[in-house]
C-alpha cells in the first residue's frame, strides 16, 4: 500500500466572484449536479460550500497527479456527504491502482480548506 496526500486552501470571495461573474458556465465546469444541489441547499452559506469543494478538487488533484496526468476534468471527482455530513470522494476516472480517497473539509467566513489522502494498492 502507498499513500499520497494533498491539501488546498482558497478564499471564499474568489469563488463567489467566479460564480457571480461567470455563472452557470463556471458552476457546470467545476461541479456535478449533486454538488450544486448540496451547495445551493446551504442558502446563505453556499459560497463556503462551493469553495470547499473547489479546494477539495485541488487537493485531490495534488494527491493523484502523478498517476492522473495533467489533463484534468473537474467532474472526475465528486464530493458528496453521507447521512452524518462526512464528505466522501466519488471517483469517475480510471486511475491505476487507486483504491480509495479520504477527505476532510473545513470552512469559515474567509477561507475553505481541504485535506486528502489517496490510497494506492501498490508502490
Ligand X SMILES: CC(C)(COP(=O)(O)OP(=O)(O)OC[C@H]1O[C@@H](n2cnc3c(N)ncnc32)[C@H](O)[C@@H]1OP(=O)(O)O)[C@@H](O)C(=O)NCCC(=O)NCCS
Residues that bind ligand X (CB under 6 A): 49, 52, 81, 84-87, 105-107
- Minimum CB separation of residue 70 from ligand X in Å reads 27
The rounded distance, in Å, linking the Cα atoms of 52 and 69 is 23
Question: Given the complex with ligand X, which of 89 and 105 has the nearer CB atom?
Answer: 105
Nearer to ligand X, 9 or 67 (CB): 9
58 and 8 Cβ atoms separated by less than 8 Å: yes
| Closest residue to ligand X, based on beta-carbon distance | 85
Whichever of 57 and 107 has its CB closer to ligand X, that residue is: 107
CB of 26 to ligand X, least distance (A): 18
Q: Is 60 exposed, middle or buried (0-12, 13-18, 19+ CB in 10 A)?
A: buried
Closest by alpha carbon to 119, among 104, 101, 92, 96? 101
User: How near is the Cβ of 3 to ligand X at its closest, in Å?
Assistant: 19
N-term to C-term CA, the chain: 7
Amino acid at each position: 500500500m502507498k499513500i499520497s496526500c494533498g491539501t488546498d486552501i482558497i478564499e471564499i470571495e474568489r469563488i463567489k466572484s467566479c460564480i457571480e461573474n461567470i455563472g452557470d458556465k463556471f458552476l457546470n465546469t467545476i461541479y456535478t449536479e449533486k454538488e450544486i444541489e448540496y451547495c445551493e441547499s446551504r442558502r446563505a452559506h453556499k459560497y463556503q460550500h462551493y469553495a470547499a469543494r473547489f479546494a477539495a478538487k485541488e487537493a485531490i488533484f495534488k494527491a493523484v497527479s502523478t498517476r492522473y496526468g495533467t489533463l484534468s476534468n473537474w467532474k472526475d471527482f465528486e464530493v458528496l456527504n453521507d447521512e452524518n455530513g462526512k464528505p466522501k470522494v466519488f471517483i469517475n476516472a480510471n486511475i491505476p491502482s487507486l483504491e480509495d480517497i479520504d477527505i476532510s473539509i473545513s470552512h469559515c467566513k474567509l477561507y475553505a480548506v481541504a485535506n486528502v489522502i489517496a490510497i494506492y494498492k501498490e508502490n
